[in-house]
Amino acid sequence: MKVPRNKRLMGKRNPRRNRQRFGGFFLFILVGVFLLFVFRFSYIVISGHVNDENLTKKASALYESSTVLRAKRGTIYDANGTEIAEDSTTYSVYAVLDKNYTGINHKKLYVTDKAKVAKVLSQYLPLDRAAILKRLNPANDKTFQVEFGSAGKGLSLTIKQAIEKANLNGIYFTETPARLYPNGIFASHQIGLAQTNTKATKVANAQNLVGIMGLEKTLNSTLAGTNGVKEVKEDSYGYQLPNTKAKKKAAKNGKNVYLTLDSRLQTYLETLMSNVQTKYQPKQLNAVLMNPKTGQILAASQRPTFNPETGSGLGNFWRDTLVGDSYEPGSVMKTFTLAAAIDKGKYQPNTNYQSGQITIGGTTIHDWNQTGWGSIPLSKAFPLSSNVGFVHIEQALGKDNWLNYIKKFQFLSKTNSLLSGEANGSIQYEHTSDQAVTSFGQGINVTVMQMMQGFSAIANDGKEMQPQIVSKVVDPVTGKTTKYKPHQVATPISKSTASQVLSAMEDVTYKDYGTGTAYQIPGYKIATKTGTAQISNANGAGYMTGDNNYIFSVVGMAPASDPKYVLYITMKQPQDMSQSATEILSEIFNPLMKRALDYDAGDTTTESKTMMPNITGKSVSAATAALKKENLQAVQIGTGDTVVQQMPLANEVILDDQRALILTNGAMTMPDVTGWSKSDVLKLAELTGKQITIKGTGYVTKQSLSEKSLLNSAKTITVTLSKP
């Protein structure tokens, strides 16, 4: 039956029925959502998980605080127990500027007096007030905090405490583990470097010191130790929650390492090396002093080098050239050729030969003076350093015998002296001419430490000792000591042979025709052998030409009758050849060898008169008085009243007319350098970290930055030297 149209319209227009239907539907949805929520909540409560996360652990973590208990890195000591590398802490300063940074009772924790902050910080940082104020007023007014660049980093505890005494609002410090190298340039590539390395751990981002070069790297696991951790439950204010206990796992400190280096000799060597480097500018310079009876390295250094305390020179040269560089040794190799021939019974000292030149395998070999000395006995070939004579000796010895002795002396193999980056060396031995030239140190590549190892056999009755730079490792907690005993690696020659070679080395020093007469030291008998090695061209085709394109060297053993010291020095391509190579090397060899022999004889009078006092941390007035007592002129660099660094370093050997540079807290200032030598100017650059351009030779007559001006006020500093 058809419903009338007016009744259908009335049904649609019934609002009460529509609300009831809509309400019922909404109630159904609401109940469904509620039941779903109840089910979900019950599941979370029962399981303790949501989205695969453990809520119990997550909630607990909100109240748990974990702190790394940093292990102390082991200290490196010299042979006499003097610290060479030790753990320290440095600080970085920063300023909070955000005015919303407040504490309890709305205490202001941001910078409130920028003028006062700039005044105080300028006294302790190498920045002036204007530079500090500029940082405290950044262009972005929403900046939360600002730092002060490198000037605000690496601060000592003394400087941090001095700044804190001023009670500056908004000034804070971050703490960073650091490695302290109190001796500055001191066998830098051999000791190496440890720097901070941030590692993500389960407890925090812990900063650890990690060795990145030298012994710091090779002995990193020994020195590093193991970090501990402290876990505690805290409230939102940082207080420990009641009825909770802190969990603590103690840190295990690293072990201490004792070296064979003698600080007295090492420091003196560094001074001598720096002087030669400054005066003659060789591209490379190496020196090692060793006890041949034990193989212990008493002093070792190289140039270029760096100061691990200031970072000066670090970016220029990372390689330890004593083990990492292989080179043709030149005529010092004749020491081993002679030893092999004597030991094999193939040396005929009274047999004459025609010096000057000889042709072997189609190659003509010349003596160093080209024309030679006419017909002379083989006994003169060694003191005269005759290449032709040693070709004859090698021919008599035989190629197989000679190669066998090269291997007996442990060439072509690493010494495993614990220094990092050691090379094996190599030899070119295919043709007759190759075999001949190895007799005088060409066609064979060696390292300095391989040479030192070989020299020990000559100086130690034929017993060859492994070079040793670590003497012992000590656990600071248990006291357990691991000693590194002297290790004999071979006996390549007899005692009689070693004695005869030493006698021939004496001839080099004392015969009027010997090449080593410059190395005579009054009061002591010295056995030496000199060397001049050609340098291969970069493309491998032939050798470089020019008077300075050589590796000049000398090895000396003393006392010659029973050597207690072997000193080997190499110098590559000196740019200033104002003296002969022999005279240049003698400026290192003679004073260092004499100092070692004097110490051995019990004569320490020189040392007591020439050691630089320790003035770091003292007031400027006290430091000046201490230097005046040593007849040294103090040169102040900085506006502060406390010495933070010094040059020369404490206990360093002081030479005549040497200036003492003292860097104070406060902004660094330019001293009057008129009359200074180039060496003094370079020390100023090293101490301040500033790039100083040096023009001319002689002594300073002009400086682009006037006295007492702030060093940071000039991008470049130029000084002009003139000869008097």
> Active-site positions?
331
β-strand pairing of 363-366 with 357-360: antiparallel
Q: How far apart are CA 124 and CA 667, in angstroms?
A: 7
Query: Residue 177: which H helix or E strand, with range?
Result: strand 171-180
Q: What angle do CA 697, 698, 701 make, to 5 degrees?
A: 100
DSSP element (H, E) containing 583? helix 581-600
Query: Tokens 């009243």, residue?
Result: 641
Task: Report yes or no: 315 and 368 within 8 Å, Cβ to Cβ.
Answer: no
- Tokens 């320490």 map to which residue? 604
Distance of CA 604 to the CA centre of its chain: 29
What's the DSSP call for residue 512? Answer: T
From the list 573, 578, 554, the residue with the least C-alpha distance to 279 is 578
Report which residue type is found at 115.
A
**Do the beta carbons of residue 481 and residue 488 sit within 8 Å?**
no
**Cα 81 from Cα 220, distance rounded (Å):** 20
CA dihedral 513, 518, 519, 522 (to 10 degrees): 100
N- to C-terminal Cα distance for the chain?
Answer: 134
Which token pair is 186?
């001191």
Residue with structure tokens 């292990």? 71
The position carrying tokens 């720097």 is: 195
By the 8 A CB rule, do 469 and 297 touch?
yes
Compute CA distances 466 → 19, 222, 453, 456, 674, whole Å: 101, 21, 6, 8, 49
How is residue 163 written in tokens? Answer: 């700044």
Return d(Cα 310, Cα 317) in angstroms, integer: 15
Answer whether 317's CB lies under 8 Å from 305's CB: yes
Q: At residue 13, what are phi and psi to the nearest 5 degrees?
A: -90, 10
> Who contacts 378 (Cβ-Cβ below 8 Å, separation ≥6)?
347, 348, 349, 350, 351, 352, 353, 389, 392, 393
Name residue 219's beta-bridge partners: none
Distance CA 109, CA 121 (A): 18
User: Are 265 and 289 in contact, with CB atoms under 8 Å apart?
Assistant: yes
The continuous run of DSSP H or E covering 232 comes out as strand 228-233
432 Rama class: left (phi>0) / alpha (psi -120 to 50) / beta: alpha
Q: Which of 108, 126, 130, 102 is nearest to 118 (CA)?
A: 130
Residue length, the chain? 724
C-alpha–C-alpha distance, residues 259 and 266, integer Å: 12
Could you tell me how far CA 37 lies from the centroid of its own chain?
65
Spatial CA neighbour of 132 closest among 140, 141, 124:
124
Sheet bearing 550-558, strands edge to edge: 296-303, 282-291, 565-574, 550-558, 527-534
Radius of gyration of the chain measured on its C-alpha atoms = 36
